Each structure stands twice: as structure tokens, then as C-alpha cells.
Structure 1
Amino acid sequence: MRDLNSDFAAMGEDLLAWYDVHAREMPWRVGPADRAAGVRPDPYRVWLSEVMLQQTTVAAVREYFLRFTGRWPSVLDLAAAEDADVMSEWAGLGYYARARNLLKCARTVAQDHGGSFPDSYEGLLKLPGIGPYTAAAIASIAFDRPETVLDGNVERVMARLHDIHDPLPGAKPVLKTRAEALTPDQRPGDYAQAVMDLGATICTPRNPACGICPWREPCAARAAGTAAELPRKTPKKPKPTRHGIVYLAQSADGIWLLERRPDKGLLGGMLGWPGSEWNGAPVPAPPFEADWQALPGEVRHTFTHFHLILQVMTAELPRGFNRNADQELVPQQEFRPSSLPTVMRKAFSLYKDR
């Protein structure tokens, strides 16, 4: 059995040999063969993918990434984009502060760095919206810096490799230290992607495929029979439930009334339906006086910190309606439900299926 505490270099070689054969193909990734041939990753594509992948699955991100890079192929293109266009393309991906920070970061790179991303962890960390994980990922993957990338997949691999039973999130510093000890100076970009791929495809949350894992020999949890129960996690507090009301209004000639939410806060900067506050007992807040009718059914949606139940009210938008600064009147031919956040799309679906 390989000695986990003294054979880190050999373990890195084993993992990279596995990655050379089994690397996942992704639209933002330069595979190991191309990388060995001298093809360098585009820092813009690495950064964009890492921001999109925060708390979002690879499957959900692919389409958005291809659409973004097709429309804005470089960081300079994105920096010059209209805010509303970027927020519209982001709709449905969730965690909308990421989209606002995306624009801030792109414009900082364009204005302060000549359109080129800093090539160090410290430099990347100074950019808007880039935290320790994202800075390490870009530095490693795009610039081959020996930085340690610690996402959920890597945490799981480290917890099992060392049979660490301390629960997350408290165990993060210990897991980071273990991951740093294994990060090699050679091919650190490939290694970072390899250990993430290992967690995503072999060392999975349920039913890990220990028999075909390149690190099966040194894995302490496999030897102890505890792999399936790691990593442990501190139980989460139950999410509260909030309630709200949204108002869908369309004129006789097809014009929709929409409202842009404040830049700060939940769904910041996104277009949606006018509505009430979201709390335990929402106060009706119709955008105009009318005979508002409640649709049967309700909209249910879950955010990071709470569950939401919305009542949907409808009325005809009066001719000559004077909108305020936060509202937009959108003709039927320009209305795109796909540009709305998911919770707002659900309200529209309830209206459409009435």
C-alpha cells in the first residue's frame, strides 16, 4: 500500500496519468493533449466558466457559457456590453449578483489592465467578484500557477483520502492544508482539473467507485470502510418560508408591464413582475388601481436561504399607462420569458396555463 504521508509526488503522477485518459470534455477547457502540445487556456473563458459554475452544475452552465462566448467572445466585448443585455442572458442561471460582478470585473480588466487578466493569485484576488477559490482556479488553470483549488469535489476527495471526520464547513482549513500538500509544481493547471474531475466522476457523493480510483491504494477512508459516509456536514438549519404577491398586467394590444429590481438585493438588476415585499404577511402593492383577479394555484420557488410562495394577480394594463422610472412597457413581440429570472418565469407559466 502506498504511503499517503510520504509519496505525494507519485500520487500526483498517478492522478495526472488518469486525467490524461479520462479528462472530461468541456467547452471552456483545454484538454491535456492540447495543453501538452502548447495550446494555452484563455483566461477569459476560464474566469467566465468559474463564475458561472459557482453553486451551479456543469450541465446547467454549458448552454449559458456557449451563448455568452458566442455573443461576447472576449473580455473586452463583455466589458462593452449593455447591463440589461448581460442580465437578460444570465436569466435563469441564478445568484444574480454574479452577473453584476461579472460586468464590474470585465470593465476593471478592460480599463485598468489593458484587457488582460492578472496572472497571479494576488492580482486576481483584487478584481471585483473574485474570491479566494476563483482566484486560485484562474491562476492555476489559466496560468499554471501552483495554487490550491478547493471546491466541493476536492473537499470530498481530501476528506476520504485522509479519513477526516470533522464536519464541514468547519473542516475546510484542515482540508485546504491537505490539498496544498498534494498540489504539484509540475502541471498544476491539469492537476487542479484532475482532482476536481476525480471528485465529480469517481469519488462521487454517493456510491464512490473506489475500485477504479487512481488513489485507491493510499485512500485511508477506503481502507477503513468509511468512504461512503464522508465528508460529514454540520446539519443545516431549516429554511423559513416567505410569501409574496406578483402582478401580471398586459394591455389590450399586447404590451406587458415589467419592473426592474434594484441593483442591490435578491434578483438585483433583473426584470420581473411588479410585486409586494416577500415576508411572512405581504401587503398588497398593485402597480395601478384595477380589478385584480387572483389566479388559481401558486408559485413555489426555493432560494439559498428561504422558500418562497407567490400569489399571482392579473389585470388589464390601462391604455396610456404612465410608467415610473423602474418600470418598462414591453411589446408582445419583444417579450421574452427566457429573459426573466426563474421565479418570474414560473409566474408567467401559471398565467399562460390558466
Structure 2
Amino acid sequence: MIYLDHAATTPIHDTALEVLVNVSKHYYGNPSSLHDIGAEAKQLLDAGRRTIAKIIQAEAEEIVFTSGGSESNQLAIRALISASDTSRNHIITSEVEHSSVRNLFDELERSGYKVSKVGVDTSGMISIDELSKLITDETALISVQHANSETGVIQDLVAIGKLAKQHGVFFHSDCVQAFCKLGIEASWLDALSVSSHKVYGPKGVGAFYLNKTIDSKPEIPGTSQEKGLKAGTQNVAGVAAFATAAKLNYTERTDEHIRLTMLRSKFVEKLEASGIEFIDEGSPENKLPNILGIRFKGMEGQFLMLECSQAGLAISTGSACQVGSDKPNRTMKAMGRSDEDAREFVRFSFGKQNTEDQIDVIIEKIGTILNRHFAKAKF
């Protein structure tokens, strides 16, 4: 099986796995315990906090550990809302957010908040001017993702951050896909979310940055862990492995960015040379190098994904948090595609184990599937 779904999850790095096992075995103390074994665990937890903070240019005290990206998004947003003036009940987000953000805002809307959604153009970019026009005196929060998990399109966090500061509005970003791939400067934001298993760390671990000046209220009063923002004993082994994987990935990010950019370009070039007709979705100049969202005209994405799996290729039709839905791809619809076009969308997301040698094999298998499909369609 050739794995091409790294935007959904990545295999754990060997070094991170060694750390996970070693810490689980030898540093099993509860970091809230006051004895020496607990203190050792707390030291590892604090070291992990410093590592994540350094990558996003924040301070260790501003990092809160969670169970993953979805929980990070939701807890970070709730923390900002809890710190907002009660007279502000307006939230702005985009049409292409991850389901964890979208679902939370749907819930908040049902509870009385007003939610506005800034659209994207045909390449997947939001308009800063349009975003600016949506801000009112009642706006408490803007939440816009850094990079889209389906197209890889990157939004301008600095421009949005400047706009938010100008209007005195909190700004949160889902940085799960961009973390350790792009440089992130936390000072432009009030909160941002990251995840371990997207950067070759273990599943079940994530974190969010919350600016230390934010006077948020505990999610559950009386909770002592993570400033009261995340209840429960911290996953020290998971955090240590997450920090290890993140540090390794961040150190290698420049070389890997170049390698993946070349790999994706070679894939597109050879796909074009093969005669297979396809549409590359999303701004080609402004997206992550590891994600390629495309459509094969006349071929439904769900069917292609299943056929690829049978042929030994692991691809997806978008966010893993929406698998099983027969609705047209939301991101494609937001970009102005028809229902039929949106259902054609598939995503190839490359990672460390993918090489140029695999490209010909991948294209040959896709070509065989498409030829068989269209041959059947004629009868």
C-alpha cells in the first residue's frame, strides 16, 4: 500500500515512539503529585511545553495540552469567548473551516451568538476587505484556519491579525495542518491550535496557545490542571513524544518543504504527460507543498477512493472528520463548484515515506481505474 493520506494522520516517528515507550515505562508519575516521581513527570511536561512554545515563538506558560487538534480548537475558542465582554456576541469565521470549528460555532449560534462567515474566492482565499466589513462593535472573535486540510490553501494570518488588533477583536486560528511546515508567529494571534499526529507524533495529544494576557475562565471550575482549561491527568508520555516529533519536523521543515514541493510538481507534470484529464484545486502559488486536491472530471471521488484502496493506494476525499458523508465536499462548494464537481474531489497528501519512484506506479494505477470506469460508462 502506498500511503497518500498524511493530511489525515502520519505514522509515528521512530524516535518519538522510543520516547513514548521510555517515558511511559520510567516516568509514570502524575505531574500534579508532590513527590519526586511526580516532579520528574512535571519536568518532562514543562520541557514539552517549552518545545512547542519555541516553535510558534510563544512562552511556555501560554501552551495548554489537550487530547488533539479538535479539542484544541474548541477549548481555545471557548477560552477566548469566556474572556470576551458579555456585550459582544458576534463571531466571524470562514466557509472552509474544519468540522470541529464549524460544529462548535453551530452550537454557539443555537445558544444565541451571531455567526458570520466570510467566503472564499475560486482559489480558496478569503478577502481581507470582506472580512473587515463583517466586523462590528459586537464582534468578539475571528477564527480563520491557517491552511486548509483539503486544498492546502494558506491564509494570511498576519493580515488577519493586524485587522483583529485594529478592532480590538480576539483572533484564533486552526494551525493543525500548518504546524511545523510553516513558520508561525503567535504574537499576531490570541490563540492557535496544533496537533501531534499530523507531525509524526502519537495520536491523542494536541495543544493550543493562549496569549497570557487573556483573562479566560476555567472550562470546569475547580480544575487544577492546565490552568483549569483542560481537566484530567496530563498525558506526559504523549506530550514528550509530541514535542520530540515536533522538534524533529521543525528542524527539517525547510528541506522537507523543498522536497515535497518538487515531489508534488513532478506528480502533476507526469499526470499531465499521461494524458489523464484533471483539475488542480486551490491557489497553486499559496498552498502547503504536501497537499494536492484534484478532480478527475466524470469520476466521483468516493468511488475513486475505494478503487484506489483496492489497487493499493491510500487517498481520501477530504477531511477524515467528514468521512462517510455523501454530501458534496464543503470546501469545493465554498469555492463555487457545483454539487457534481464537488463530489469529484479527491486529496493526495504526501509525507516523508513518499518518493519520486512511487509516482509512475501511482499514475499507472489511477489511469487503469479511470480507463475501466469510463469504458463501463459507455455501455
- TM-score normalised by the chain length of structure 2: 0.23
- TM-score normalised by the chain length of structure 1: 0.24
For the pair shown, the structure with the greater C-alpha radius of gyration is: 1
